[in-house]
Amino acid sequence: MMRYAHIVGWGHYLPERVVTNDELSRLVDTTDEWIVQRTGIHTRHIAAAHETTATLAFEAAARALAVADLHPSQIELIIVATSTPGHMFPSTACLVQDYLGASRAGAFDLGAACSGFVYALQMASQSIATGAVRNALVIGAETMSRVVDWSDRGTCVLFGDGAGAVVLKGSSIPGGVMATTLRSDGSGADLLSLPALYHNPVPIAGAEFAHNGHHKNIVDMDGRQVYRFATNVIASSVQDVLKQSGLTLDDIALIIPHQANVRIIETAARKMKLPLEKFYLNLDHTGNTSAASIPVALCDAVSEGRLEPDDNIIFVGFGGGLTWGASLVKWDVTPPQVSFIDHEWKRARYVMARGRSRLRRLSRRVEAAVARSSNGHKGDDSAE
């Protein structure tokens, strides 16, 4: 029997601290007027010192689970699309699994830069379509503020921090994620990059490597080339998913693109002969939050009442890699009302999950101590 991956929950989290263009003009040689005219961005959110990509992702995921009215133990797969993980391992997704107490979930991170959410949505919806999992969490989360060069006016004004999440649920009823296209072109790798961390030297003969010269992991970008690339692939990926699903642009209620720059979206809309209103935009108050931007925009679109049941919507992502892709989704839910008591009770679950996690850590330590002491005794025995 065909299984369809329906979006049944959504949530986002933006850090409290809002940074204005005027504040940035005190850091680099820029102005509010330049940033607004060239990008459409007025403000962005920046993570506090105690926040991490994983804590942002957890907040978004907890909200999405509350809307879906699912217990974390019902989630079987967690994918976090991110370019700013706190660690290569443990993955951000594993930390989120622990914070949620999602005791039956496999978890991994996915790296496809600003297209990451569309890629992750496809991986999770295919896992549902094959029957491998019933419910999955797809999260886009970033702390871009920690990887931009705050002395480079060409990039630091563009990015922001945040996280967005959706819960996917399997059903035999047609709907949800209906068509997806994923593409890449590594020949454009140098146009937009975030080098990996500095490598440790290897003190082994024959294993020395030519150091790549990167001493910092900061975003490097050829703005004009990326701009050109983005305006081309938005139209082509929208056409791909329309063709796959046998629909036309007239059947689409809303396109939710990656929120990079309002001028990119305006140019794409002109190329596609569509009014700008067909594209949802919220980058004026988020900036470019990379893999988080589409799910954050989705949540804003829902809360503004821009989506009706049975609407066809398209997510379009594009970014470093180069990568791009689109998903056509049949939106088939009305936002449920979550009561205050229900909300608080659900939050209490996560306090309990942290408690259980601490207990598991403690019991591992106790087991290790017991094992050490019994090995010590064996050592004594053998010496006798």
Return the exposure string of 13-45: e unless at least 16 CB atoms fall within 10 Å of the residue's CB, then b. Answer: bbbeeebebeebbeeeebebeebeeebbbbbbb
Residues in the site for ligand COA, rule: CB under 6 A? 30, 34-35, 38-39, 114, 153-154, 157, 221, 223-224, 226-227, 230, 260-261, 288, 319
**How far apart are CB 157 and ligand COA at their closest, in Å?**
4
Q: Identify which of residues 8 and 316 has a Cβ nearer to ligand COA in the complex.
A: 316
Contacts for 5 with CB less than 8 Å, ≥ 6 apart: 124, 125, 128, 129, 136, 168, 169, 170, 176, 177
CB atoms within 10 A of CB 343: 13
Residue 364, classified by CB atoms within 10 Å of its CB into exposed (0-12), middle (13-18) or buried (19+), is exposed
Q: Identify which of residues 50 and 224 has a Cβ nearer to ligand COA in the complex.
A: 224
Q: Identify which of residues 106 and 223 has a Cβ nearer to ligand COA in the complex.
A: 223
Q: Identify which of residues 263 and 346 has a Cβ nearer to ligand COA in the complex.
A: 263
Q: Identify which of residues 141 and 226 has a Cβ nearer to ligand COA in the complex.
A: 226
d(C-alpha 293, C-alpha 160), whole Å: 9
Residue nearest to ligand COA (CB): 223
71 is catalytic: no
Q: Judge contact between 285 and 303, C-beta under 8 A.
A: no
**How far apart are CB 46 and ligand COA at their closest, in Å?**
16
Residue 170, classified by CB atoms within 10 Å of its CB into exposed (0-12), middle (13-18) or buried (19+), is buried
**In angstroms, what is the C-alpha Rg of the chain?**
22
**How far apart are CB 32 and ligand COA at their closest, in Å?**
10
**How far apart are CB 224 and ligand COA at their closest, in Å?**
5
**How far apart are CB 184 and ligand COA at their closest, in Å?**
14
**How far apart are CB 257 and ligand COA at their closest, in Å?**
10
Max Cα distance, the chain (Å): 88
Catalytic residue, candidates 12, 21, 114, 299: 114
**How far apart are CB 167 and ligand COA at their closest, in Å?**
26
User: CA dist 375 to 57, 365, 380, Å?
Assistant: 41, 15, 9
**How far apart are CB 201 and ligand COA at their closest, in Å?**
33
Catalytic residue, candidates 6, 258, 299, 312: 258
94 is catalytic: no
Q: Which two tokens stand for residue 171?
A: 């059903």
Q: Identify which of residues 108 and 227 has a Cβ nearer to ligand COA in the complex.
A: 227
Closest CA to 154 of 24, 20, 321: 24
Q: Which two tokens stand for residue 180?
A: 């997806």
Q: Identify which of residues 160 and 319 has a Cβ nearer to ligand COA in the complex.
A: 319
d(C-alpha 180, C-alpha 185), whole Å: 17
Contacts for 315 with CB less than 8 Å, ≥ 6 apart: 117, 118, 121, 256, 257, 294, 298, 326, 327, 329
Per the listing, tokens 């009706």 go with 308
Dihedral sign of CA atoms 145, 146, 148, 149 in order: positive
Q: Identify which of residues 138 and 156 has a Cβ nearer to ligand COA in the complex.
A: 156
Residue 69, classified by CB atoms within 10 Å of its CB into exposed (0-12), middle (13-18) or buried (19+), is middle
Which amino acids are annotated catalytic?
A: 114, 258, 288
